[in-house]
């Protein structure tokens, strides 16, 4: 290893250590803050019941707190009511409360107001903690019905076969069956290069959608074999999985040869870029649509860990297209009619 590569590895290790320490400090402080809000909510509820105080007591409390603790924000009447609601929502739900203590206050309020089902709450609480969702990303995931998708959509990968059991489970957790790229604002077909460029321009939103642990390395990452060059669309390092993650973007339906190409790229990555203490590199193929059976067969012969996921560019039909594009029911009716007509012709 040359001196530049050695220093780059050394520098990366230091930055990872700093970022990890900062993250742990934030988690610890956040848990204290959320726990404090839960306790304040409890005290408000118990004293209102004991003394038969009405709503005005919260306004009085807010004014007196701000007089006593000058300059400290967060104790407005509205926020004190939110603390009261937070306590009432989780006073008999210790498991959900434990999860709620791990995520920021804004995300907690969003989940309480938007999600009522306990199992669904559990999903969004866990996902926000594990994947580091911001409030905006969390709202986007709720609106995109991420919980329902994870119940019905099968994750397609060969991780179980290509990775050790402990690592395959972690990799499967990091992989989504569908990625929501709605933040790109794309409402018409695009070329792969344009899609890649838009993702690079919005790399922060992409990292949030991918989930906690992904660190961006580069796009069109060059690899050499003999005199020929190859380029990986997007290359990341996953700090939890301790491995390189190659992402290939496709704007057409999944084709079996995509898996063969990714297998080849992973072979080169493991041979040329993987460090001695890294785990095997992982590949993710993103395409707008896939046939799960075709994916399953395509991955059978691959000895490298590969996952195939769909992406959605928009969940909203642009206003100018409303009424001009057939709905799913209309498409089904059209297809049924076409089949019926075809049968009549055969007769």
Kind and range of the H or E run holding 164: none
Domain termination residue (choose one: 87, 117, 150): 150
The CATH number of the domain holding residue 206 is: 3.40.1350.10
pLDDT computed for residue 1 by the predictor: 57
Let me know whether 14 and 110 are in one domain. yes
Separation CA 112–CA 41 (nearest Å):
14
Model pTM above 0.85: no
What is the total count of domains within the chain? 2
Let me know whether 237 and 125 are in one domain. no
Q: For 222-253, how does the pLDDT look when each residue is reduced to its tens digit (9 = 90+)?
A: 999 988 999 999 999 998 889 999 999 998 89
Let me know whether 145 and 160 are in one domain. no
Let me know whether 136 and 71 are in one domain. yes
Domain termination residue (choose one: 150, 177, 200): 150
Let me know whether 158 and 305 are in one domain. yes
Let me know whether 309 and 175 are in one domain. yes
Residue 268 lies in a domain: yes
Residue 327 lies in a domain: no
Crossing angle, helix 77-90 and helix 3-51, to 10 degrees?
90
- Domain that includes residue 38, residue range: 3-150
Let me know whether 165 and 190 are in one domain. yes
Domain termination residue (choose one: 102, 119, 150): 150
Share of residues in the chain with pLDDT > 70 (%): 88
pLDDT computed for residue 12 by the predictor: 82
Helix (H), strand (E), coil (C) string for 27-83: HHHHHHHHHHHHHHHHHHHHHHHHHCCCCHHHHHHHHHHHHHCCCCCCCCHHHHHHH
Let me know whether 142 and 185 are in one domain. no
Residue 341 lies in a domain: no
In 3D space, the residue among 134, 126, 124 whose CA is nearest the CA of residue 204 turns out to be 134
């Amino acid at each position: 290893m040359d001196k530049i590569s050695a220093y780059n590895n050394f520098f990366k290790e230091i930055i990872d250590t700093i970022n990890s320490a900062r993250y742990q400090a934030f988690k610890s402080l956040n848990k204290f803050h959320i726990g404090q809000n839960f306790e304040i909510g409890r005290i408000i509820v118990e004293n209102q019941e004991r003394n038969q105080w009405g709503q005005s007591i919260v306004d009085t409390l807010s004014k007196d707190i701000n007089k006593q603790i000058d300059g400290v924000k967060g104790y407005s009447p509205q926020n004190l009511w939110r603390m009261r609601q937070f306590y009432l929502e989780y006073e008999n739900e210790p498991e959900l409360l434990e999860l709620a203590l791990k995520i920021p206050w804004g995300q907690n309020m969003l989940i309480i107001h938007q999600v009522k089902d306990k199992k669904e709450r559990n999903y969004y609480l866990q996902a926000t903690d594990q994947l580091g969702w911001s409030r905006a990303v969390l709202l986007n995931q709720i609106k995109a019905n991420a919980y329902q998708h994870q119940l019905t959509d099968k994750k397609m990968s060969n991780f179980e076969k290509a990775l050790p059991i402990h690592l395959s489970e972690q990799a499967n957790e990091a992989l989504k069956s569908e990625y929501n790229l709605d933040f790109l604002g794309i409402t018409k077909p695009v070329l792969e290069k344009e899609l890649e460029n838009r993702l690079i321009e919005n790399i922060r939103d992409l990292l949030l959608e991918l989930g906690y642990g992904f660190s961006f390395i580069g796009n069109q990452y060059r690899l050499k074999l003999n005199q020929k060059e190859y380029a990986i669309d997007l290359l990341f390092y996953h700090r939890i999985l301790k491995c390189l993650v190659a992402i290939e973007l496709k704007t057409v339906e999944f084709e079996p040869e995509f898996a063969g190409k990714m297998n080849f790229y992973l072979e080169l990555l493991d041979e040329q870029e993987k460090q001695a203490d890294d785990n095997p590199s992982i590949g993710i193929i993103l395409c707008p649509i896939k046939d799960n059976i075709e994916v399953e067969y395509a991955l059978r012969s691959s000895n490298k860990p590969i996952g195939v996921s769909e992406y959605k560019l928009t969940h909203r039909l642009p206003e100018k297209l409303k009424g001009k594009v057939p709905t799913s029911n209309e498409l089904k009716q059209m297809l049924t009619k076409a089949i019926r007509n075809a049968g009549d012709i055969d007769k």
